[in-house]
């Protein structure tokens, strides 16, 4: 069984980050958006964070010493890729306060959680 997981009231098991988050978000109206299109956009951002999680993991583990013999040029390039991702999100937010629709959704929470380690460990406040 994969972690995280949740057991539903029927005894079914839901696992994997975005599946668990989506299941729990269904209990809070609006977190998956306000219509089918917004739900698709939320799912797009969830997939975006999952697609880029390896990059973030590498940077965090390198800083924490869990990756041996990290080449400085490789690390610098990876940090540059994270910065490019932040610029992508910034562009998506241009003139808006949320990624999807006009209310906070699971997309905002997932993308915020995705960038938390970067802003805690290697992206400075000026960035």
Q: Is there a contact between 50 and 27 (Cβ–Cβ < 8 Å)?
A: no
Confidence band of 2 (pLDDT split at 50, 70, 90)? low
Q: pLDDT tens digit string along 78-87?
A: 999 999 999 9
Query: Is the model's pLDDT at 18 over the cut of 90?
Result: no
- Mean pLDDT of the chain, nearest integer: 91
- Look at the pTM and tell me if it is higher than 0.95: no
Domains (range + CATH), the chain: 33-121 (1.20.1050.10)
């Amino acid at each position: 069984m994969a972690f995280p997981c949740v057991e539903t009231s029927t005894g079914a098991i839901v696992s994997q980050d975005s599946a668990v988050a989506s299941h729990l978000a269904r209990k809070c109206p609006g977190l998956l958006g306000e219509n089918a299109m917004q739900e698709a956009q939320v799912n797009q951002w969830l997939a975006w964070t999952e697609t880029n999680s390896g990059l973030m993991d590498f940077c965090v583990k390198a800083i924490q010493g869990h990756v041996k013999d990290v080449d400085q040029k490789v690390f610098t390039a990876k940090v540059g890729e994270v910065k490019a991702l932040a610029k992508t999100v910034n562009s998506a937010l241009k003139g808006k306060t949320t990624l999807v629709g006009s209310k906070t959704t699971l997309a905002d929470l997932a993308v915020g959680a995705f960038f938390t380690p970067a802003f805690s460990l290697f992206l400075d406040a000026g960035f």
